[in-house]
Amino acid sequence: MGEEKANGSKLIAAVTAMLVAAGGVLAALGGLFGGGDQAPAGITIILDSPAAFEAFISNHPSNG
């Protein structure tokens, strides 16, 4: 019975790995082909001097 249990565990691991791989492929293809016009995921702000950093921090909306 121990060998059957080991084979069952291997089968479950193999099926899980295949599902994860298929999900990764679908996610990659969805990002390539199904995207359309999407909003950017984030904003990059370049603060190239201490004065620019100070101006950004002092004018930030969360600065109350």
Reported as a single tens digit per residue, the pLDDT across 12-42 is: 999 999 999 999 988 887 766 665 666 667 8
Question: How does residue 6 score in pLDDT terms, banded at 50, 70 and 90?
Answer: confident
Residue 53 counted as domain residue: no
Residue 44 counted as domain residue: no
Which amino acid appears at position 18 of this protein? M
The whole-number pLDDT of residue 37 equals 65
Residue 52 counted as domain residue: no
Residue 15 counted as domain residue: yes
CA gap 10, 46 in Å, rounded:
50
- Report the share of the chain in percent with pLDDT over 90: 42
The whole-number pLDDT of residue 42 equals 83
Residue that has been written with the tokens 């295949």 in this structure? 18
The whole-number pLDDT of residue 32 equals 65
- Domain span at residue 18? 1-37
How many domains would you assign to the chain? Answer: 1
